[in-house]
Each structure stands twice: as structure tokens, then as C-alpha cells.
Amino acid sequence: MPSSAPARTRASDLLRAARCEPVTRTPVWFMRQAGRSLPEYRALRAGTAMLQACTRPELVTEITMQPVRRHGVDAAILFSDIVVPLAAVGLDLEVVAGVGPVVARPVRTRADLDRVPELTGEHVPYITEAVRLLVAELGDTPLIGFAGAPFTLASYLVEGGPSRSHVRTKALMHGDPGLWHALCDRLAQVSGEFLRVQVQAGARVVQLFDSWVGALSRSDYARFVQPHSARTLAAVAGLGVPRIHFGVGTGELLALMGAAGAEVVGVDYRVSLTDASERIGPGHAVQGNLDPALLFAPWEVLREAVVDIVEEGRHVPGHIFNLGHGVPPDVDPDVLTRVTELVHDVSAR
Ligand code: CP3
């Protein structure tokens, strides 16, 4: 049973915006709001490997709370990583600082698939525990649970690590569609279950990250990706939580991403919220989309960009303010606090 939090968080502006209902202020949170931009994070994480840190509920709770306390954002996002469920089912991988996830033995053949078993809640007891601790501490502020979408996870597994071109992934997709679909089918189970575990423990919103899917054409997306992302999102359909779906460079894919089963589509800075909302169609909220680079611009420049986005957001069915991608590790965190206050101030009605 989820805790009593749902009743109290129902009125949250974030949940209301996600459902295209009126809000008192534009809700705001930042992708990667927990992490290296915060000195208190760097102090806590010192000496603990990333994936190790993700298995310690008290540490996860503290790291997740840090940006909520500091910035006054409208949501917490569970401190974890998209590869946590893959490590949990036994894949040998590491998250290397400054690089990203690195997989010891890439997954490229049918025999390799046997190394990716289905996920159950028993693989990730520390996630259930961390979410329960957080929900108790967060009060009215909703917790966002998340997972990586099958394409982005497959890219790490097939390439063996981060890739700019995704050449091996695309070669597998086109060269052996049967194996590709079998791999993504398995990853959809893993990610879907990972989301379900978080929601059942009390997460009130979920975000499915397909960070690198902007590397694909619309037809490849429709054929090789959308059915698997749809299956992942369907795992939490009917649980009453809004589903956000985000990727980078997805201007051509926004409508298909919404149609995969997301109430909210995350937009990067390359497409305006107005254009994005038109492409996605009525009944969907949008999330975004300040270019993270502007966090380094003079305040007056940044201020104008933030106000413009809030203003644009008033004319779409629902808007959650965020960056177009994650918080850069070297940003001054005080700037994020100021942006949060500004979004709240200029949108108050
Ligand atoms: O605050 C939050 O947003 C929650 C925490 C979070 C992390 N990873 C923590 C993390 C979230 C939502 C993620 C998701 C994630 N992980 C994505 C999707 C989001 C996106 O940026 O598109 C992706 C692609 C990954 C894979 C991954 N893990 C990358 C690319 C990196 C960065 C590598 C680096 O060091 O620059 C990681 C590591 C990682 N995940 C860090 C954090 C805070 C940094 C590691 C550290 O602090 O030691």
C-alpha cells in the first residue's frame, strides 16, 4: 500500500500541471538537481562509488533531499541511475565519473541476452526502502521515480559504454531486428518493473528517460523503439501517476513519444514549448526547456530567458519548468535557487 502521502500531494502544482489542470504557480524542478553542482553532495559522496551509493537508502534519502531543501523546487527525484536495475539483475557494470556507465561484457548476441534476466522487486529492496523514507520526509512535495527507456539502456549495453554515434546499436537494430526486439522486450520489462516498484513504494510521478533516442529517425523510432517504450510506460498505467517522457534532440519524435503513453513530454531547448505542444497535440503537458548553458550567462540574460519560457508555458495545456537537459556539474547552485524563485514569482496568480 502506498503511504498516506497521495492525498496530501494531490493538490501539488506539479501534479496539477502534469494533468493539465490550473496551477497556483508554475512548478519547477531540474533534471540532475541532485549531484555534483552541490558541495554538500560532493562531501557525502566522497569515497563511495556511484552504484554503491544507490544501494544505501539513508544516503539516497539525504542526497535526494539536498536540492529540495536548498532550492525549494516542486519535486524531488530519487537519487539513483538508469543502470541501477541492470546492475541489480547481475550485469557487470560501473558508473565511471566523468564518463558514464561502462559495461564489462557488452550485450550483442542471443546468448548474451541470458545475462539480462527479468527484474523483480526482490532485486531492489533498497529502492523500496529509500522511496518509503523519502515519502515520509517529503510531506507535500512529490517524489519523481524514474527509469531509462529501452533504447537508451540498450545503447549502453550494446556499445559497452557511452557513445556519440550509437553505430553498433543501430547496426544491431537494422541487422538483426529479431534480436533487437528481444533485447528491448527484456529491457522494457526491467524498466517497467523498476518504475512500478517506485510507484508502489510511494513515488507520485515517473519520468522515463530516453536520453539518446534523438539519434534516430522518426521511422526507426516508430518501428524499433516506440512499442518498447510504450510497454515500459504501460507498466505503471492505471496507478494514478503522471508519466513524463524525455529525450534530447527529439524534435522530430515528440508526437510519437507522447503517443507512447506519456501525459507529459519533456522538451529540450532546440524546440520551443509552443511548437512542441503543437506537435504533441492536445491533452498533454510539456516539461522544459531552458538551455542549461544559459545558467552561465549574466543574470539579466538568464532572467529574460526564464521569463520567456514561463510566459510561453501559460499558453500550452500544462507546463512544468525544467532545463532542456541535466544540470551541468560546474554550475553555481545559487543560480538554480534564483531561477526557482523567479519561476515561482513571475508565474504566481
Ligand atoms: O538529480 C537527479 O536527476 C537524479 C539522479 C540521476 C542520476 N542519473 C544520478 C547520477 C538521474 C535521473 C540519472 C539518470 C541518468 N543516468 C540518465 C538520464 C538523464 C540524462 O542525463 O539524460 C543517463 C543518460 C544516465 C547515465 C549516466 N550516469 C551518465 C551519462 C552519467 C554522468 C557521467 C559523469 O560523471 O559525467 C552518470 C553518472 C551519474 N548519475 C552521476 C549522478 C549524480 C554523476 C556521478 C557522480 O556524481 O559520481
Which CATH number covers residue 326?
A: 3.20.20.210
Q: What is the pLDDT of residue 192?
A: 98
Collect all residues with Cβ–Cβ distance below 8 Å to 306 and sequence separation of at least 6: 290, 321, 339, 342, 343, 346
Dihedral-angle region of residue 261 (phi above 0 means left; psi in -120 to 50 means alpha; beta otherwise): left
Number of domains in the chain: 1
In a domain, 1, yes or no: no
Ligand 1 midpoint to CA 57 (Å):
18
Tell me which residues are annotated as active site: 32, 36, 45, 81, 156
Q: Which atom of ligand 1 is nearest to the CA of 162?
A: 30
CB of 33 sitting under 6 A from ligand 1: yes
Residue 292 lies in a domain: yes
For 4, 90, 92, 153, 242, the CA distances from 116, given in Å and listed in that order, are 35, 7, 11, 12, 28
Question: Ligand 1: which of 81, 187, 209, 269 to mutate, judged by most atoms within 8 Å of the beta carbon?
Answer: 81
Give the angle subtended at the CA of 92 by the CAs of 91 and 96, to the nearest 5°. 120
Per the domain annotation, does 2 fall within a domain? no
- Which domain, by its residues, includes 285? 7-348
Among protein residues, the one with the nearest Cα to ligand 1's atom 27 is 100
pLDDT-flagged residues of the chain (< 50): 1-10
Tell me if 60 is assigned to some domain: yes
Residue 216 phi, psi dihedral angles, 5° rounding: -105, 155
Ligand 1 centroid to 30 CA: how many Å? 13
Q: How many helices (H) and strands (E) does the chain have?
A: 17, 9
| Residue 28 falls inside a structural domain | yes
